[in-house]
Structure 1
Amino acid sequence: MSKWAGSTWTGRGLTARSLAGQFLVFQLLVVAVVLGAVAAVSVAQSSREFRDVRGQRMIAVAENLASTPIVRDRYADPFAAQLLAPEVDRAVALSGARLVEIQAPDGLVRASSEPSRVGQRDGFEHSRVIEGRAWSGDLDVDGSHSLVGQVPILSTDGDVLAVVSVSEPYPSVWQLLSGAGERLLVYLGLGAALGLAASWLLSRRIKRHTRGLEVAEIAGLADHREALLHSIREGVVAVNTDGVITLLNDSAQGLLGVTGDAVGRHVDASGMDPAVVEFLLSGDDGRDVVITTRTRVLALNRRAASTGGERIGTVTTMRDSTELASMQAQLSSHKSVTDTLRAQTHEFANQLHTISGLVQLGEYDAVRDLVGTLTRRRAEISDAVTRHVADPAVAALLIAKSSLAAESGVALVLDDDSHLTALDPALATDVITVLGNLIDNAVDVSEGSERAVVTVALDDAGELTISVADSGPGVPEHLREAIFARGVTSKPDVPGGRGIGLALVRLVSAQLGGTVDVSDGPHGGAVFDVRLPLDRPDGSSGNA
């Protein structure tokens, strides 16, 4: 957006005033309005002063003329206009009035300072002078709005013999303003000076806070900011120092499962996942954190926002890592298989070395007994699993995990009441992910414990229930929700990040419409219970 001499080019092809110029015009308009109000007040005040002062003057002149002997003696003379003209003119000269007249009770003008009005008739409809009282007020005289004072000439009986009327037209608005000219000039000078000073100071302050940008430029920057923030794929959440959300772009709304109404609310009242709320209100800045909500895996980074060296809040960016987490789950399954094969290879190598040594010693009977024992033990393990678990993939996982747990000195036991029929291949894959991560976690925490036992229970009556109990230290009450988020682990000697397996357990369970809970075991340790519907979210049955 280009600038020319402090003005901006608008879409209409007109040169708009600068922000300072707009404020100057506004201030001058305010001054003009104030002066207009002052002028109106001055006119009203001058009119009131004219009515009060000149009204009394008109009455006084009329009373003086009415008490003149020649007026009282000759008011009804046929030649009153000529006889009383000097007295009428003297009253005009003394009062400064425009018109002085002597009228009969019926309104007939007998003598006037304006000879042309002699013989005309003006009524007393709006006056009380016929009642024998002096009166002053506003009347239209020859089409001119005038202030009139009227005094009756009374007989000894109190009858009205004649009326002396003295009138003066109201001054025009311009004349009233001219009379108050000095005050108006003072008000004009003060108002203009104050307006210019205020406009200059205000424009400087606004330019300092807006970096010298004009209105159109500020609006353009705001529009561009909104367009950019709401079009990027990464979620952006801004929180001020009071914990109130000030920005939430479209991507963040979708990732966090909230609406734009959350802007302006405190983070606690926004409806976000508790793990996300805790991170947004924490003091960790500049650190990448992976948080697993009930439906997504989010990678978040939070940085402090400041202006002028003063902290104004934080800005958190987030990316959806759910697909990456799913790939990690698959890699974890492959790694589990690799570890199981490694353990079995190590076990078979030890057994082969033993057999080789016995053969070299010629102890063939001992070789026969050892092979029989190993075969019988392997058959017992397979029978113990396949007797309760009909799904080949899950059974194979349990058999493989038994060998891997044994290598760590932990006994993996399948509960005698377990029962599982063959599952749909897609559901079986998810069950392997859930069960494998739960067993791995249980073996890790049980290794080195007094009992060192991991118990697995499976049940598909109504819904698929997976229960894995360990003999470890258990999960503290305050960690039972956080342990499923951002790599939290209950093992004190394991660095952060190992807890991603439990996060995947909850993520897969939520995607299948199930739940996962943790509680204390009857003999210590923790029990993880997973409940999954046998009917998949796509409507297909989980049983093969």
Structure 2
Amino acid sequence: MKLDSMQSKIFLYNIMIIFLISVAIGISFYLTLSNAIKEEIGAKALQIAKTTAIRDDVKAGFYSNNPSEILQPIAEEIRKETGAEYVVIGDLNGIRYAHPVESRIGQKMVGNDNKGVLEEGLSYISEATGTLGPAVRGKTPVFDDDHQIIGVISVGYLKKDISDIFSKYIDNIVWIVAVFILVGLIFASLLSTRIKKDLLNFEPIEIAELLKQQNALIESVREGIIMVNEKGIITVLNSAAYKMLSDGEDIQLVGKHIRNVLPNTQMDQILSTGERHLDRNMEINGNEVLVNRIPILNGERVVGVVSSFRLQSEIDRLSMELSQVKKYTEALRAQTHEYNNFLYAISGLIYLQNYEEALELIHSEREEQGNLIHFISDRLQDPFISGILIGFFNRAKELKVRLIFDEDSNLKSLPKHIQKHLFVSILGNLVTNAFEAVEHLPEEQRLVRILILDNGKELLIEVEDSGEGIHNKVKHILFEKRVSTKGVDNDRHGFGLMKVKENLLELGGEIYTENGDLGGALFIVVVHKGDNEYEGQNRGVDC
């Protein structure tokens, strides 16, 4: 056990407290016991004195010619029977008639504590120092038949003898205190070990550090996180959850019952069932969210629930981004596939010794690729855009679509403040939609045109296809979720144009739709270059 550990500190503090309490109790017990013994001995001495004072032979002794001769034997007999240190009998003047030391008979009693007895006829207990030493005395007057004071009886126990009685109890008290301390030692050890175990063997400073780290971790998560205890009271929530639950208001949520904050929650059901809810749909303040609810267990007992939730729109956006990456991968795969077919064709022609046809195919492919590379390197010099366009060119060849790069295209590089992945996502969704719009047409009618132009103030993208165009019934809701021009109803469609709208909002651009010269739809995208990345943030998407 380390001396600076929490367990050792708890152990030492407990032992110190138990030791102080035990010693205090022992001293208090000793003082209480000693006072009780002293009072009991004093009461015993007084009772012996009173009993002696009412004896007839004692009274008669005072009237004899030699009182000491009668009273001394009586006093000694009483002393021996009661165990008193002395029984002294004196007259009205305090002259001794009886005393354990016979040589002191006839002398005046000492201690100056007879006044109340001889003058007022009182009986009492006193502490005084006599010829034998400090003693506790019981004093009472002797009355004659006419109730007149004729003498005094003094019965005493030396304090030294009383101290000897006390000493007999001290050992017992010490043993009792020692047992208390030993028991306290055992319980202190068990308590410190138990507390250490309950804290999972962590030190307080380690718990504080863990709490800081966990708070930082919870706050760094973009998902909303909320935790309730076994009574359904909110105990923890991060800023993302607070922002969504408070709906912009400055209110206190921690300490409230979850039902008062989220009436449609199912967290209180988990408190009773202990079930896990994964990827459940829910609505919070008008927003669709995807919720996970996990019970917090202490053994088999549910002591709380933690719930995490995220906007469905964010998940959809991530899905779209993943889908776009898959499209880029598919474009690269198409390019590889096309070149493999080209190499297979050349290999076959050479095997058949049709060298002229092989050379003609090579020259044709090289000329086509050369024209594409020359056009892109001359007009579209941004490598990020160039790579995507080459991928789409090969994808178009695989789909038997004629992809036309408008000769007016011109883009040296994207401005630094325009996020390339957003720009490419916009272009990729529009081109993919165009491919899908013409895929059902005869091969010779499958046309898609792309224009990318930097006119100095704006970046323009035009994507046109030879498909059926945009129906009027969906034109006004074209950029909403789950709206598709494909004529199908499944989860794979209806996100592309919505993603285009979201990206343009972030870039501060607009999009327009028209009927193109090829007979299908024409999408025109305008992204304002501006002086910095913030210009145009308030612009919307014009549909």
Q: Shorter-chain TM-score category?
A: 0.3 to 0.5
**What's the TM-score, normalizing by structure 2?**
0.47
